[in-house]
Structure 1
Amino acid sequence: MTGYRILVIEDDRLMRNSLVDLIEAAGWIAKPLARATDAQRWITQFEPDAILSDVRMPEMSGLELLRTLPAEPPIVLISAHGDIPTAVEAMNHGAYSFIEKPFDPKRLLLVLSHAAEQHKMRQNNQRLKARLRQLSGLDRVLLGQTAQMHMLRDTVVMVAGSDAAILIHGETGTGKDLVARAIHDLSPRCDGPYIAVNAAQINVEQLPHIARCAAGGTLFLDEICACPIDMQPMLLRLIEAGEIFGSGQGLPETTDLRIISATNENSVAAVAVGSLRADLLYRLNGFTIDLPPLRERRDDITLLAVRFLQEFATLYETEPPELTDEDLAALIAHDWPGNVRELRNLTERRVMTARHGLGSMQDVLSDANRNQLERSGLREAVAAFERQIISKAIQAHGGRMDDTADALGIGRRTLNEKIVKLGLDKEALL
């Protein structure tokens, strides 16, 4: 096995040579430097696994070096003038360890080996993540170069290896199904089935069939907060024990599957109004992933628009239309309530109009904005009316939800869903 690579920074020649001899005797590779000001250049060229540096040196001290370098590779500081405040300062600024001279050679080598091994493990982990992304095409599926998207891709790789239940939060159009599918494709269950269903539309009879179909793979439950209340005990049993009852309600069937769920609603609020069981939510969110809306990663908008334009141009056998400065300004200024799905739809319309030599991205976006305003105006009016009627009914019946639902002529579950969607605070109304 190749030995560790240690960058040694020590202004005293005798001590520097002694440290190099010690490191090379351990079978490692040492690169000696007399000045800390040369460290950055040699980190790039030598690629050390750890840095061993004296504290007190001319031009730049070990503590100053510590403040100027990134977190990797790890730095071990040594000093003949060790004291508690210096050691505390060193550790607060990210030093891996602080050792006083004269030091025990075996202890120094042990500390350096631990630091170097940690560095190698982090490098291997990063390479593995990059390789997994390359193999799965994750960068092509979850498009974007903003910090949020880099973090999202890393999270997908991290959770894919476990069998924990995952709850994905995200607005409409943010790609919840894409994320769920990516997790499945990177998981040990990738050769098994991936079954996606709308949790709001399944019933007791359908669930055993769905569970059988998803056996050995992944079951993706979208709109989990709208799941019928009578279905939720069965889902809870499926997650906890891997059991599902058939229509005859005899002995339960056992099945092996992973559940990933998603919602564009506030799951905690859904529990508060009784439309989602608290124990079910606890089981569903073994790990939670929050997807960023497009308006919070505007630096990705141009990249996405260009990618979608090229994709649809290939589909419609035409050249992708160019984006003018005015187009780009309009795209960046738009609020994107429909997120990436909305952007994808708009780019398709732009390619279709460009085939006939018509329009611009600005025109397509302006038409969409007008239609959105018309739709949102009607929605807001209906929502305001519903909010007023439901609020009065809750007050009239003293907060008794069954009586309120009966008076409004709707089911209890429908009432709960409307309370969540309209953002009503039942306690504040009473």
Structure 2
Amino acid sequence: MTAPSLPRHPLHYPNFRAYLVGRCAAVLAQYGMMIVLGWQAYNIARETMTTSGAAAQLGLIGLAQFLPLFFLTPVTGWVADHYDRRIISRTTLAALALAAGLLAFATFEGWVSLPLIFGIAVVVGIARAFNGPAYGALAPNLVPPAVLPNAIAISAVVWQAGSIVGPALGGYAYAATPWGAYALAALLYAVAFGAMMMIGPVPQPARDRTRHPIRQMIDGLHYVRTNRLVLATITLDLFAVLLAGATALLPVYARDILQVGSTGLGHLAAAPGIGAGLVALWFSIRPMKREVGLKMLAAVMIFGLATIVFGCTAFLPRSIAMEVGLGALVVLGAADMVSVFVRQSLVQLHTPDAMRGRVSSLSQLTISASNELGEAESGFLAALVGPVVAVIGGGIGAIVITLFWARLFPELRLARTFDPPDIRAADHSQEKAP
């Protein structure tokens, strides 16, 4: 009697459905809250500072979120591999809900300030430092390996949907009443917490009590350093997005260059998510299977080109600048989604479950470095040379980095599928068997 086959679609698994609901709510809250945080900080700074000085404050917000992640990464990855990933996620989501609630109250009462915004940014950085590895390492425990690529694609669709709607919700809520944007974020984080409470027990690797925790943290670094394909995908995304940080300067473009206000800021912030969401939706139906390395390299090149086009909207007539900028950001988001899909699939499928927390924490560090540290780099560079030169120069830098990475890591250029080498070897031997 043959054993019943497992469901072939991720949505057939209740734990994964709850995971998706929580992920969607958390991403809506994160993107809605952070775009408003930057907008509010920039406007407060502009009351007493020049455009360059206020742009530097955006850089400081990015730095305030990145530094906790940078220092805590070895610890957070080890924690995700040794403790219940559901409990870690629940705790951090509760902390994020409280942080958003505090900002809502402070804005309502009229005593919100730059120091408070920077302090909340640090709290958000700490919470996300623990939440990211636990969330990332939890997903492969919810579905069988055979359906994991589809699960990653569907999760990416949900994430991108949140990144599309989140900034728009934040921008529109702020335009209606500033404190409402943070109250909405607090509510969404509470929904994410409730969804995470619905996830039942899941398999987790046994704790290794024979090796010192510091040694185990180093093992995660060693694994990434020696797996050149994983290293290539993680670091390419790091340096490309670090340089081409156009989205970090959207408040500057919305207020002082395109002059479209907070509503226009919501449109600009949502545009990359629209492009990314369309690509992620396509991958959820037709997952990428062939020439994954070359497609990632091409996508990062397109990402850099789209960044250059967006930067050049400063030289266009006001009547078409906004439309061209939105189009460039849609293409930018679509290209970034290809890169994200390849990186996430390779990291999840090439990493043993017992080490997924530590590798996910390093992956998150590079993502945060490219995003939050990229915001800092873009803000400080904009203060020195101006926002337009900073955006265009960043796009050029992303293209140069991609060409260099293609030569430095031939493993990436030659990667044909997502399958780990041992699976490819087994499939090949079966094909040759009589």
TM-score range, shorter chain: under 0.3
Q: Say which structure is richer in helix.
A: 2
Q: TM-score, normalised by structure 2?
A: 0.19
- Compare CA radii of gyration and give the structure with the larger one: 1
Tell which has more relative contact order, 1 or 2 (C-alpha 8 A, sep 6+): 2
